[in-house]
Amino acid sequence: MSTLKSEVATSGRYDVGVIRADFPFFDTGVAYLDSANTSQRPRQVVEAMEEYFTQYNSNIHRAVYRTSMQATERYDATRRKVREFINARSVKEVIFTRNVTESINLVAYTWGRQNVGEGDLIVLTVMEHHSNIVPWQILAQEKGARLAYVDIDDQGELRLDQFHDLLEQRPKLVAFAQVSNTLGTITPYRELTAAARAAGAVVLIDGAQGVQHVGVDVQEVGCDFYGFTGHKILGPTGVGVLYGRRELLEAMPPFLGGGDMIKAVFLDHTDYAGLPEKFEAGTPAIAEVIGLGAAIDYLQGVGVDAIRAHELDLTEYAVEALSEIDGLRMFGPPALRRAGVLSFDIEGIHPHDIATIVDRHNVCIRAGHNCAMPLMHRLDVAATARASFFLYNTKEEIDRLLVGLHDAKRIFS
Amino acid sequence: MALDDQFYREYILDHYKNPRNFGRLEAADISHEEYNPLCGDMVGMDFRMLDGVIQDVRFHGRGCAISQASASLMTERLKGMRVEDARKISKEDVLGELGIEISPARLKCALLSLKVLKVGAYGLAHEEDED
């Protein structure tokens, strides 16, 4: 068995060097400032997956031999870890999906089709990722429902006055990101949820950028649905999570039909399995789920609060460093209300060109619309450059970004 | 950093900073815009035609140095060209004219103006992306 706990957990103080030693990727010498896109994976995650592939590779939930039982046990262990990580009441409220996109689509296609009708209102925000816009547009078109978007202010924070006005129209659903993937804005998700629930709405929170940077306690927040994805929280691609309140999940029809989601199948009908299997048709991403379990162990070993403090330090450092550059404009709120995400542009240099030039300095940043085209329109930009930080990043990497940015200025001067 | 000096050659930067034939054409015979779905960059072209010859062409848009320089170079090439010759302009022609090593990630930037030409101006079938 591999050791799943990070050494950081036992040392008791934040040592980024110890953390980086767990990530073989950093041997490449690349400065990786794109974790809001996808994170790097520690060896503990890779080893947990390798162990499955090499020592107990088998399908889950169906074979009687011991190897399969071991796989099933490890698969189910991740569900217990997720339950604890987000403090769901029960493992029955934890559904494995492919990613947040699938988590949101699952809700739109099942709960949405059953509960949203003509003229009903769905409230979103202008800074959502496409995955929290498009599924609701599809649903609204199918049902004749209405969509309304809460705007942001000049600091990239939600216009709460608009939000509360929209609640007076009694929306069926309110869906928003816990943390904006582009601006890094940490939304007041607790207050938004409480107000929306009080107005009778069902609340879905997109936690793709939230669970690993600020954490979540779904019972305390009181949301009905919460989604997050493995690959942004040190885990593998191909596995995500949907949390749903049990009463809602039980009343919802299945999403995909097939193996594993049934109790009994007859030629003329099927009795569905209970939770969570009802929503997990077909052989799942077994190795990835096991890898996700190791990722959660790693994150909890370091501690989300310690990660947040480290990222805040990096963000403050980066905001100051980037301010030096003439013509550089940063978007989003002050560091205290921002996760480790910095979107910016530089006058006269397109973000693509910025990213290409800093890449020549071995620094990875995102450039483009960040899967948030409506937000780009709102900010009146075609694209932004985005640097994002996670538990393993250092000030030295930000310094290297700065060197790259100065070079971009020189080339385009 | 010798590499990026090579990538952002002087004439690319020149076409980016001082785009040729930039703007809109009044009473254009053909106008078309295309977007790069990866980044939202846009290039549009207006054409004025006479007897199968491109009399005048202007482009507008917003985007990176590669996409805008490529469009600028394209307009220089198109002016006065017969339509049947313009139809023959290939991906290789455009990349050759840019004269720099284009990574797969930036190929769509470099070829956005060609897409405008093919899809919009000549109503050719939407070329499938090959990368």
Distance (Å) from the alpha carbon of B41 to chain A's nearest alpha carbon: 6
**A269 and A144 together in one domain:** yes
Number of folded domains that form chain A: 2
**A63 and A111 together in one domain:** yes
Which residue among A274, A300, A326 closes a domain? A300
| Residue of chain B nearest A360, judged by CA positions | B4
Collapsing DSSP to helix, strand or coil, A34 comes out as strand
**A236 and A336 together in one domain:** no
Model confidence at A1, pLDDT cuts 50, 70, 90, reads very low
Residues A353-371 have a mean pLDDT of 94
Q: Which pLDDT tens digit goes with each residue over B63-105? A: 899 999 999 999 999 999 998 899 899 999 999 988 888 888 8
**A291 and A328 together in one domain:** no
ipTM over 0.95: no
> Residue A10 pLDDT more than 90?
no
Within a domain: A336: yes
Within a domain: A45: no
List of chain B residues whose C-beta atoms are within 8 Å of the C-beta of residue A351: 39, 64
Count chain A–chain B contacts defined by CB atoms under 8 A.
Answer: 58
Amino acid B24: pLDDT: 96
Dihedrals φ, ψ of B39, to 5°?
-135, -5
Model confidence at B106, pLDDT cuts 50, 70, 90, reads confident
Closest CA to A168 of A205, A126, A196: A196
**A244 and A347 together in one domain:** no
Model confidence at A274, pLDDT cuts 50, 70, 90, reads very high
**A240 and A143 together in one domain:** yes
Distance (Å) from the alpha carbon of B39 to chain A's nearest alpha carbon: 4
Structural contact between residues A59 and A278, judged by C-beta atoms closer than 8 angstroms: no
Within a domain: A2: no
Distance (Å) from the alpha carbon of A412 to chain B's nearest alpha carbon: 7
> Residue A7 pLDDT more than 70?
no
Within a domain: A373: yes
Half-sphere exposure of A287 (CA within 13 A, CB side): 15
**A282 and A342 together in one domain:** no
pLDDT over 70 percentage in chain A: 97
Q: Which pLDDT tens digit goes with each residue over A387-403? A: 999 999 999 999 999 99
Amino acid B6: pLDDT: 65
Mean of the per-residue pLDDT values for chain A?
95
For strands A240-244 and A363-364, give the pairing. unpaired
**A156 and A175 together in one domain:** yes
Amino acid B104: pLDDT: 83
Q: Is A400 within 8 Å of chain B by CB?
A: no
Model confidence at A8, pLDDT cuts 50, 70, 90, reads low
Q: For domain B2-121, give the fold.
A: Sufe protein. Chain: A (3.90.1010)
Within a domain: A1: no
Amino acid B130: pLDDT: 42
> Residue B8 pLDDT more than 90?
no
Residues A66-91 have a mean pLDDT of 96
Within a domain: A44: no
Half-sphere exposure of A389 (CA within 13 A, CB side): 29
Distance (Å) from the alpha carbon of B103 to chain A's nearest alpha carbon: 10
**A286 and A312 together in one domain:** no
Residues A332-341 have a mean pLDDT of 94
Q: Which pLDDT tens digit goes with each residue over A147-184? A: 999 999 999 999 999 999 999 999 999 999 999 999 99
C-alpha dist (Å) from residue B100 to A344, B4, B63: 27, 10, 18
Q: Kindly name the residue from A371, A375, A391, A398 that is annotated as catalytic.
A: A371
| Residue of chain A nearest B37, judged by CA positions | A369
C-alpha dist (Å) from residue A100 to A120, A147, A160, A183, A347: 24, 20, 25, 19, 34
Task: Determine, for residues A360 and B4 on separate chains, whether the beta-carbon distance falls below 8 Å.
Answer: yes
Q: Is A374 within 8 Å of chain B by CB?
A: no
* Cross-chain CB nearest to B40 (options A357, A376, A407): A376
Print the SS3 string covering B62-103. ECCHHHHHHHHHHHHHHCCCEHHHHHCCCHHHHHHHHCCCCC
Residues A244-264 have a mean pLDDT of 95
> Residue B4 pLDDT more than 90?
no
Amino acid B72: pLDDT: 96
Amino acid B18: pLDDT: 94
Residues A322-331 have a mean pLDDT of 97
**A21 and A75 together in one domain:** no
User: Distance between CA atoms of A321 and A402, rounded to whole angstroms?
Assistant: 7
Q: CATH number of the domain that A330 lies in? A: 3.90.1150.10
Amino acid A81: pLDDT: 98
Could you confirm whether A223 is annotated as catalytic? no
Q: CATH number of the domain that A71 lies in? A: 3.40.640.10
Amino acid B56: pLDDT: 94
Amino acid B99: pLDDT: 85
**A186 and A203 together in one domain:** yes
Which residue among A280, A300, A320 closes a domain? A300
pLDDT: which is higher, A385 or B6: A385
Within a domain: A43: no
List of chain B residues whose C-beta atoms are within 8 Å of the C-beta of residue A357: 4, 8
| Residue of chain B nearest A407, judged by CA positions | B1
**A314 and A276 together in one domain:** no
Amino acid A47: pLDDT: 98
pLDDT: which is higher, B51 or A116: A116
Domain that holds residue A23: 7-38+303-411
CB atoms under 10 Å from CB of A278, counted, come to 22
pLDDT: which is higher, B126 or B57: B57
